[in-house]
Amino acid sequence: MGIELRGTAASPGIGLGTARTVRMPDLDFSAVPFRGETAEQTRLEEAVRLFLLRTEDMAQALGEELGGEAVGILTAQRMMLEDPALRDALRRAIQEGACAEAAVDRACGLFRDRFAGLEDPYLRQRAADIEDLRRRMLALLLGQEETDLTALPPDTVLVLHELTPSMTAGLDRDHIAALVAETGGAAGHAAILARALEVPAVLGIPGALDHIPDGTPLAVDGGSGTVLLDPDGRQQADFQARREHWMADRAGLEAYRREESHTADGRPIAVLANLSRPADAEAAARACAQGAGLFRTEFLFLDRAVPPAEEEQYRAFCQAADQLPGRKLVLRTLDIGGDKSASCLGLEPEADSFLGHRGIRWCLDHPDVFRTQLRAVLRAAAERPGLRLMFPLVDGLEELRAAKDLLAECRTELETEGIPVPRDLPVGIMVETPAAALTADQLAREADFFSIGTNDLIQYTLAVDRGNARVAKLYTPCHPAVLRLLRDILSAGRAAGIPVCLCGEAAADPRLTPLLLAFGLEEFSVSPPSILPLRRRLAVWTMEEARQVAREALERSAAQEIAAYLERVLRA
Q: Residues in the chain, how many?
A: 572
Q: What is the dihedral of CA 33, 36, 40, 42, to 10 degrees?
A: -140
Which residues are identified as catalytic?
A: 189, 503
From start to end of 156-208, where are the E strands? 156-160, 176-181, 201-203
DSSP 337: B
Write down the pLDDT at residue 187: 58
Q: What is the dihedral of CA 90, 91, 93, 99, to 10 degrees?
A: 90
| 525, 292 Cβ separation under 8 angstroms | yes
Write down the pLDDT at residue 197: 77
Query: Which pTM value belongs to this model?
Result: 0.72
Write down the pLDDT at residue 100: 96
**What are φ and ψ of residue 329, in 5° steps?**
-140, 110
Write down the pLDDT at residue 290: 93
DSSP 505: G
| 334, 301 Cβ separation under 8 angstroms | yes
pLDDT along the chain (572 residues), means of 10: 84 93 88 94 94 80 58 72 85 95 94 72 70 90 80 91 76 86 75 79 92 94 92 92 89 83 95 84 85 90 79 92 92 75 61 70 92 97 95 95 97 97 95 96 97 92 77 87 97 97 91 97 91 93 97 95 94 80
d(CA 263, CA 256): 12
Cα of first residue to Cα of last residue in the chain, in angstroms, is 32
Burial class (CB in 10 A: 0-12, 13-18, 19+), 354: middle
The conformational region for residue 22 under phi > 0 = left, psi -120 to 50 = alpha, else beta, is beta
What is the distance, to the nearest Å, from the Cα of residue 233 to the centroid of all Cα atoms in its chain?
A: 39
Write down the pLDDT at residue 572: 75
- Of 342, 379, 336, 371, nearest to 354 by C-alpha is 336
Q: What is the dihedral of CA 473, 479, 483, 484, to 10 degrees?
A: -140
- Of 422, 429, 435, nearest to 448 by C-alpha is 429
d(CA 411, CA 399): 18
Transcribe 69-114 into DSSP letters: HHHHHHHHHHHHHH-HHHHHHHHHHHHTT--HHHHHHHHHHHHHHH
d(CA 271, CA 292): 9
Write down the pLDDT at residue 205: 93
